[in-house]
Structure 1
Amino acid sequence: MAFMPDAALIWFRQDLRLADNPALAAVQDRPVLPVHVLEDGPGAPGGAARWWLHHSLVSLGRALAERGTPLLVLRGDPRRLIPAIAAQVGATEIHAGRQTEPAARQRDAETHDALQRDGRRLVLHRNALLHEPHLVRTGAGKPFSVYTPFSRAVFALLEGLPPPIPAPDRLTPATGGPAGLGPAAFGLLPAPPEPDWAAEFPSHWTPGEAGAAARLAAFLDAGLATYAARRNMPAAEWGTSGLSPHLHLGEISPRQVWHAAQAQGGAGLETFLKEILWREFSHHLLWHRPEMPGQPLRPEFNAFPWRSDPAMLRAWQRGRTGIPIVDAGMRQLWRSGWMHNRVRMIVASFLVKHLLQPWQSGEAWFRDTLVDADLAANAASWQWVAGCGADAAPYFRIFNPVLQGAKFDAEGAFVRRWCPELARLPDRFIHCPHEAPPDIQRAAGVAIGRTYPAPIIDLAEGRARALAAFAAIKGIEAA
């Protein structure tokens, strides 16, 4: 009688792929039950990320079925469901990718304890990062708080990075598991009476492992060579990779991206790899500073004199500030679920500095509206712009959005696409339409205050107010 090895669970989370998945590779020679648990409560994805998750799960389920085993999707508390499913199928091991989010770490610790009491074990693998965040240390043995030395350290650690693991050809299904949810029951897509705010998303994105591979290949072919020169230009085709949502849900691994980019080479390679390492740095910070999503890493900022104003926040959220590069970015976010990175910095600086709105309000809006809403990168980036995070931007760095628009969108192509009511303005007024003479406004079909809003704040006054607010905090000069 042939020996049948114990079944195993592979618990898919932020690693929704078959290739280069160490958790899957560890169990592919055993009967396996692939599981994903839809969680509610702390750590649950925002609206745009839920849309992506739905389509990614459908894609993963199809790929697994082609290899002989279905994907089991359930909704509930994995601390209860995972041990129960493991018992049903007789699995002694549950394999999953390690996560850095505080709620996920707490959940995994409690799931580990529940499994251990039943004689089973949870085995965590490095699926989402190039290096374990708790293993990257300074020469003094401490976590890094500054990006540049962190990136140097990780570059050194990545010498000889092993190649990606191929996807399995076939999988043996475990038997005895419960019935799962079908895609229609996931509850992740907008549904009546809610408006279909994701209607345009499919024209911008193809979620899933195959979509991630196609995106990477297209970027390497069309964008990597010019990445350093064009990455700050929001209207440039392939100025950025567009891989962030695929990386967030693990439809492609950073190791796959790293190796493929190095194999391609080109003038933009080093700059691109440094962006991959910024993502690693963000997760390093979150691992060691779990309070980062809600609390400033620099404690003196607890006394910052924010001026919470729901009307100003709403104007910013809806792209109705009267500052074209800001409005174009916020409309791009609402309609596509994504925003160009340079524009993210501009709109964030405008919110927290010119408008003095709490950075947490911006972080929460991005978390709900970005398809790539990565908790670590989102929080780290907002704190960087606000000046209250690790290796933060100096307090006196206050982007002038008009000058930023003129520099990085000189002909106004980005603004014209997302703010079409301004499309007929001459280039010299596209980033400051309120300064256009009345006859030029009329010729362009623009009426400030009617067809397009007047600026909600004078930029010079906003800058002066921000500098005064920073000056009121003791120790801020050390930024």
Structure 2
Amino acid sequence: MTSLVWFRRDLRLFDHAALHHALKASKSVIAVFIFDTAILDGLSKDDRRVAFIWHSLQQLKKSLMEQGSDLVIRHGVASDEIPRLVKEFKATALYCNHDYEPAAIARDLSVAGQLATMDCRFYSFKDQVIFEKDEVLTKTGGMYSVFTPYKRAWLAKVNDFYLKSYPIRPYLNHLAPLSSEAMPSLAALGFDDTDVSILKPGMDGGEALFDDFCQRIGDYQEARDFPAVKGVSYLSVHLRFGTVSIRELAKRAWQIGGAGAETWLSELIWREFYQQILWHRPEVVEHTFKPEYDTLPFPNNPEYFAAWCEGRTGFPIVDAAMRQLNQTGFMHNRLRMIAASFLVKDLLIDWRLGERYFAEKLNDFDLAANNGGWQWAASTGCDAQPYFRIFNPVTQSERFDPQGKFIRRYCPELAALSHKEIHAPWLAKAIFGQKANYDYPEPIVDHATQRLAALALFKRN
């Protein structure tokens, strides 16, 4: 029996649910990957995510070749290419791991329907989360809409069984012997070979980053909110594309213990919280979780939005965050909250516009987490805090970048300002006039005024 394993957001050759089950159940297993034009056609040619995937696939392909097999890669619409591959290799089963995004669910249903007419079975497994769908429910059988009780239930349920890995190595002899075929270049796919070396793509890159983070994890609780400090794991893009195993990460944090590891585990649980929200309430992709806020009359000033996107709002911490995003595809989590709050609560722009911009730019873009984070910042989502939580960009800057190190990196025109002046440079200009000697925009809005306007906007509902 020949089976195909369809790699998607699980680009590794270890602790892989679908591959494990396929290798155990089949005499001959062929690994396949589709550069899906249904997704790629909407991306810019310099999209770093495609380069990250391509370089990660290179490593996966090499690992399979070392076992005498190969990674079969195709470029086209996945729902067309998978049935073609089933026919080409006379496969009787297709294995893959669950994807919880609405478009992916529709794609998989289409593929499963086509394979049913070809006498090919479709098998899908939980892999990218510890708990999925309705595995963690309230005592009344409903979904959790607030994180803290969800976290308590998650921690109460987790044990060694759920953190156990899926062994691959003992069954690698069931990989089909294949002659190596050339991998399409990024240029052939229509993309630039963007430098993603800083992201450390592939399984080896994910392992190196995780090993490095484990040396610092004890400091995570205290260091994670400071963008100028090496405090976070930098594993988000690896989690997004599955070059690391969520079970391995969660198990290591569970075993290490202590405030730092427990806080980081909590962040992994946040990821699953948003995944279950998306599965239970797929309409949040376009609509607010709290229906009463779905039609808030945001002014949506296009000049304000452009200034926010380009990092020229006149608020240094916001501008530095947006410039980091535009230049690198990465934004520190604390800065995501500050930038999102500023867009919605200061500029009075619909959160959906910001969410789409992040979706276009973030290396680690994940629909569930991006949507959940934006709705949290906009006070339209599943959060116990009401709409009057509004971040002050100056006090946030003073607290989380006290010496202005991060600001100076991305707003070098402000480098000469003192640690105190750099958070609100307009005050320095008011005092020193032309002697301030820097070319930086005046604040696009007055925070105090916009705070009142935001409160008035939300109170209408």
Q: TM-score, normalised by structure 2?
A: 0.93
**Residue pair 2:70, 2:180 contacting (<8 A) in 1 also:** no
Question: How many Å separate the matches in 2 of 1:66 and 1:142?
Answer: 47
The offset of 1:402, in angstroms, is 0.5
Which residue in 2 is equivalent to 1:431? 423
**Residue pair 1:32, 1:171 contacting (<8 A) in 2 also:** no
Name which of 175, 189, 192 aligns with 2:191. Answer: 189
**Residue pair 2:17, 2:166 contacting (<8 A) in 1 also:** yes
- The amino acid of 1:411's aligned partner reads Q
- The amino acid of 1:214's aligned partner reads A
Q: Secondary structure at the match of 1:143?
A: coil
- The amino acid of 1:182's aligned partner reads P
- The amino acid of 2:204's aligned partner reads A
Question: How many Å separate the matches in 2 of 1:189 and 1:183?
Answer: 9
**Residue pair 1:54, 1:186 contacting (<8 A) in 2 also:** no
Q: Secondary structure at the match of 1:296?
A: coil
| 1:226 maps to 2:219 | yes
| 1:168 maps to 2:169 | yes
Question: How many Å separate the matches in 2 of 1:417 and 1:313?
Answer: 23
Which residue in 1 is equivalent to 2:23? 28
Q: 1:247 to 1:186 in 2, by over 3 A?
A: farther
- The amino acid of 1:339's aligned partner reads M
Q: Secondary structure at the match of 1:307?
A: coil
Q: Secondary structure at the match of 1:34?
A: strand
| 1:369 maps to 2:364 | no
Which residue in 2 is equivalent to 1:14? 9
Which residue in 2 is equivalent to 1:460? 448
Q: 1:179 to 1:62 in 2, by over 3 A?
A: closer
The offset of 1:313, in angstroms, is 1.1
**Residue pair 1:385, 1:393 contacting (<8 A) in 2 also:** no
Which residue in 2 is equivalent to 1:194? none
Which residue in 2 is equivalent to 1:65? 65
Unaligned residue ranges in structure 1 (runs of 5+):
1-5, 192-197, 474-479
Aligned length: 454
Q: CA RMSD in A?
A: 2.2
Question: How many Å separate the matches in 2 of 1:159 and 1:43?
Answer: 38
Question: How many Å separate the matches in 1 of 2:384 and 2:48?
Answer: 28
Deviations 1:316-337 (A, max 9, x none): 1111111000011011111111
State, as a whole percentage, how many aligned pairs show the same letter. 39
Which residue in 1 is equivalent to 2:200? 206
The offset of 1:367, in angstroms, is 0.5
**Residue pair 2:51, 2:186 contacting (<8 A) in 1 also:** no
- Of 182-191 and 460-469, deviating more is 182-191
- The amino acid of 1:57's aligned partner reads L
Which residue in 1 is equivalent to 2:152? 152
Q: Secondary structure at the match of 1:338?
A: coil
Question: How many Å separate the matches in 1 of 2:444 and 2:283?
Answer: 32
Question: How many Å separate the matches in 2 of 1:284 and 1:168?
Answer: 31
- Of 157-166 and 173-182, deviating more is 173-182
Deviations 1:364-395 (A, max 9, x none): 11111000000100001101111111126420
**Residue pair 1:88, 1:177 contacting (<8 A) in 2 also:** no
The offset of 1:27, in angstroms, is 2.4
The offset of 1:9, in angstroms, is 0.3
Higher helix share: 2
Which residue in 1 is equivalent to 2:276? 284
**Residue pair 1:8, 1:91 contacting (<8 A) in 2 also:** yes
**Residue pair 2:101, 2:279 contacting (<8 A) in 1 also:** yes
Deviations 1:135-192 (A, max 9, x none): 221111111111111111111221223432344274555379997752345526337x
Which residue in 1 is equivalent to 2:460? 472
Question: How many Å separate the matches in 1 of 2:40 and 2:32?
Answer: 18
